Amino acid sequence: MRIDSLTTYFQEYEKSINSPEKFWENIAENFYWRKKWSKVLEWNFDEPKIKWFLDAKLNITENIFERNLDKLAQQTAIIWESNNPNESSKHISYQQLFSEVSQFANVLKNQGVKKGDRVAIYMPMVPEAVVAMLACARIGAIHSVVFGGFSAQSLSDRIIDAEAKILITADGGFRGSKTINLKNIVDEALEKCPSIEKCIVLERTKKSIQMKNGRDIWWHQAIENISIHCEAEEMDSEDMLFILYTSGSTGKPKGVVHTIAGYMVYTQYTFENVFQYNRGDIYFCTADVGWITGHSYMVYAPLLAGGTMVMFEGVPNYPHSGRFWEIIDKNKVTHFYTAPTAIRSLMANGLEPIKPYQLTTLKVLGTVGEPINAEAWHWYHTYIGKEKCPIVDTWWQTETGGIMISPLAGITPTKPTFATLPLPGVQLMIVDSEGNELKGNAVEGNLCIKFPFPSMIRTTYGNHERCKQTYFSTYKNLYFTGDGAKRDEDGYYRILGRVDDVINVSGHRLGTAEVENAINEHPLVNESAVVAYPHDIKGQGIYAFVVLENEGKTHEITAMKASILETVNKIIGAIAKPDKILFCSGLPKTRSGKIMRRILRKIAEGDISNLGDITTLLNPEIVEEIKKEAGF
C-alpha cells in the first residue's frame, strides 16, 4: 500500500512495529512468487541469523520482466546518456532489456556459469552493466560489482575473496575528459586471480587492448546467434543475490551479502514510498553502479517498480557544469537523486551554469551518502527545486541495502540537515557508549537497529564471524550502524557522521586502516596515521601523518608526497588519495603503542585549543613537532 499522508505514515509505522511479519507479508503479496513462504521471519542477532520469507521460491528478474511485461513491454526502462553530449542517447524498452538480459544470461551459461557461482563486474556506466547484473540474477549467479575507479589490486583482492569464475568488463570507459583503460587494469589484476576462467569484454572506447587467448572473449562476439530466451532459474528467497565490498574500520574491505527476496521487497517498497514514484515519472539517480545506491536505487528498485530511469555515463562538470541540468531538461526528469558532494561542487560554480535550463519537470529531489550541510540543502532547494520540490535526505548503508531514515516526498515535513523519521519496519535505538538506551527525545548517541528488516545484511562473504564482530558485537542484541545520531525534540533524526575509524569522502566510504596500509606499502614509509578533516566539497578530506624511513627524509618533499599519492592510487584507487600529507619524525602514541588519533584529528581540523591530556603519551614532545609542521 502506498503511503499518501502523514497520518497513513504513522499508522503504517505502528503496524510495522506491532506485527512486522504481517506487515511485510502484505507487501510481499504484490510480487511474483513461484512458491510462497512457509514462514515470514526467523532471526536472532546473536549468530546473527536473519531469514525472511522462508522456503519461498522466486527469481527477481521475473519480478522485473514477466510480472509487468504485459503492461510495460514498450515502455522505456533505461534512458542512457553518454559522457559525450554529441553521442546519441539510448532508449531501452522493457522488452528490449528483457531480450538483452536473457541473451547475456545464455552467454554466461555457455561459459559454464552455474547457480551460486560468483561473477565479478568491472564496468563503466553503460546499459550493459545493468544487463550483466540482471543476467547473473536470471541464472542464479551472484554478482560482485567492483567500482570502475578501483585499482588493479583492489579489483584482484575482491575477485580472490569471492572466488569469482568470470569477470565482465569493457575495453575502457569515458569519464569527463578522461578515458579509463579498464582492460589494462584488468590484465594486471587477473595475473593474481586463478579462479577466473573467462573474461568477457565489452567494446566501448575502441582503444587498442590485448585479448588473452582462451581467456578473453568480446561481448559482441559472445552474443552472436545466441537465443534471446532464457528461462529464469528458480531461487530460494535466502539465496545470495549479490556481494558488494565495502570498507570498515579494519584494513580489508568486506563482502556485504544481500539475499534475493528481502532485498527485492524492501527496495521496491522504499523506492515507491520515499520518492512517491509513479509509473511514467522519469527518475535520474547519479550514483555509479559500483556502489550500493547504484545497485538498489538505480538498477533494482526502479526496474522492479516498472519505472523509467536515466543512467548517465559521465561526470557533473563535463563538458560544462550544467550537464546534470541539461540532462534533466532534455529527458523531462521528474525525480533527481544525487550526493551532497556533487551539490557542493556545483554550488561552487555559481548560478551561471543553471541559467540556460528550466528544470520545470522536477518534482522530487533526493540526497544520499553523507550528511548534507544546511547551505547545500538550501541551495539545492532554491535553485534546483525552485522551492517547490521536497528534498528527501535518505540515510542508509551498504549493509542495510535500502533506505532506513528519510522523509517521504511531499508527506513528511522536512527540516534541513535532518533525515527525519524511520521508514516503516525500521526500529531504531540510540545508545550511549555502554549500550544503554537513550529514551525520549532530544538525545544524542550511537545509532543502532534493534529488529530485522527485509533487506538487511545477512553475512560477510566467506566469514560470518566478521559480520558478527563488526555489526552485532558492540552492543548485545543490536545492529550497530557505526554512525552517531541525534533525535531532536520532534523525534526527528539527524545523522552526525561516523563514530568509528571510517572516513566518508564525497559519499564514499574508506577505512583509515585501509588508507594507512596503502601508504605503508611505499618503500620509504615507516608508518602512518590517517584521519578525516572537514572539507568544503568532499565533506571529509583525508589527512595523512607520515613517518619516513631515513632514506626517505633525504628526498625532496613535493616529490615524496607525489610518490606516496601514486602508491595509494595504485593500491586502492584515486578516491583514497590523501588531500594533505604531513611528514613527522614520529606519531603520538600511548604507552601500549596505540596511536592517539584524537590529537591528530584535532590538529587536522585546525583546532588545537584543547588537545586534551597528552601526559599519558609515550612521546609527548612529538605533539609540538607536529603542531609546528602543521603551521601552528
Quick note: the x/- pattern for ligand WT7 over 20-59, rule CB under 6 A, is ----------------------------------------
Q: Which stretch binds ligand WT7 (CB under 6 A): 148-156, 179-187, 234-242, 493-501?
A: 493-501
Give Cα 437 to chain centroid, integer Å: 29
User: In terms of Cα–Cα distance, which of 265, 121, 140, 260 is closest to 199?
Assistant: 121
| Minimum CB distance to ligand WT7, residue 519 (Å) | 21
Among 124, 482, 511, 573, binds ligand WT7 (CB under 6 A): 482
Distances (CA, A) of 537 to 368, 372, 382, 554: 15, 11, 19, 34
Total residues binding ligand WT7 (CB under 6 A): 23
Among 151, 156, 412, 504, binds ligand WT7 (CB under 6 A): 504
Among 509, 561, 577, 602, binds ligand WT7 (CB under 6 A): 509
Distances (CA, A) of 550 to 526, 547, 554: 9, 9, 7
| Minimum CB distance to ligand WT7, residue 336 (Å) | 15
Q: How far apart (Å, rounded) are the C-alpha atoms in residues 254 and 467?
A: 9
Among 393, 501, 514, 516, binds ligand WT7 (CB under 6 A): 393
Q: Verify binding: residue 498, ligand WT7, rule CB under 6 A.
A: yes
Report which residue's Cβ sits closest to ligand WT7.
398
Q: Which stretch binds ligand WT7 (CB under 6 A): 8-16, 32-40, 80-88, 494-502?
A: 494-502
Q: Which stretch binds ligand WT7 (CB under 6 A): 61-69, 267-275, 387-395, 421-429?
A: 387-395
Q: Verify binding: residue 412, ligand WT7, rule CB under 6 A.
A: no
Phi, psi (deg, nearest 5) at residue 258: -115, 140
Q: How far apart (Å, rounded) are the C-alpha atoms in residues 333 and 363?
A: 9
DSSP for residue 239: S
DSSP for residue 526: E
| Minimum CB distance to ligand WT7, residue 391 (Å) | 11
Quick note: the x/- pattern for ligand WT7 over 415-434, rule CB under 6 A, is ----x---------------
Nearer to ligand WT7, 222 or 376 (CB): 376
Q: How far apart (Å, rounded) are the C-alpha atoms in residues 464 and 472?
A: 11
Q: Which of residues 276-315 bind ligand WT7 (CB under 6 A)?
A: 292-293
Q: What is the DSSP string of 296-338?
A: IIIIIHHHHTT-EEEEE-S-TTSSSTTHHHHHHHHHT--EEEE
Provide the residue type at 606 as one letter: G
Q: How far apart (Å, rounded) are the C-alpha atoms in residues 531 and 513?
A: 10
Q: Which stretch binds ligand WT7 (CB under 6 A): 77-85, 166-174, 459-467, 490-498?
A: 490-498
Q: Verify binding: residue 414, ligand WT7, rule CB under 6 A.
A: no
Element at 535 (helix H, strand E): strand 525-535
Question: Torsion angle, CA of 99/103/104/105, rounded to 10 degrees?
Answer: 100
| Minimum CB distance to ligand WT7, residue 400 (Å) | 8
Element at 365 (helix H, strand E): strand 364-368
Among 58, 97, 285, 368, binds ligand WT7 (CB under 6 A): 368
Q: Verify binding: residue 171, ligand WT7, rule CB under 6 A.
A: no
User: In terms of Cα–Cα distance, which of 454, 480, 477 is closest to 45?
Assistant: 477
| Gyration radius of the chain over CA positions | 24
Q: Verify binding: residue 323, ligand WT7, rule CB under 6 A.
A: no
Q: Verify binding: residue 370, ligand WT7, rule CB under 6 A.
A: yes
Q: Which stretch binds ligand WT7 (CB under 6 A): 137-145, 162-170, 346-354, 396-404?
A: 396-404
Q: How far apart (Å, rounded) are the C-alpha atoms in residues 52 and 40?
A: 5
Q: Verify binding: residue 246, ligand WT7, rule CB under 6 A.
A: yes
Q: Verify binding: residue 548, ligand WT7, rule CB under 6 A.
A: no
Residues 6+ apart with CB under 8 A from 19: none
Q: Which residues bind ligand WT7 (CB under 6 A)?
A: 246, 292-293, 368-371, 393-398, 419, 481-483, 495, 497-498, 504, 507, 509
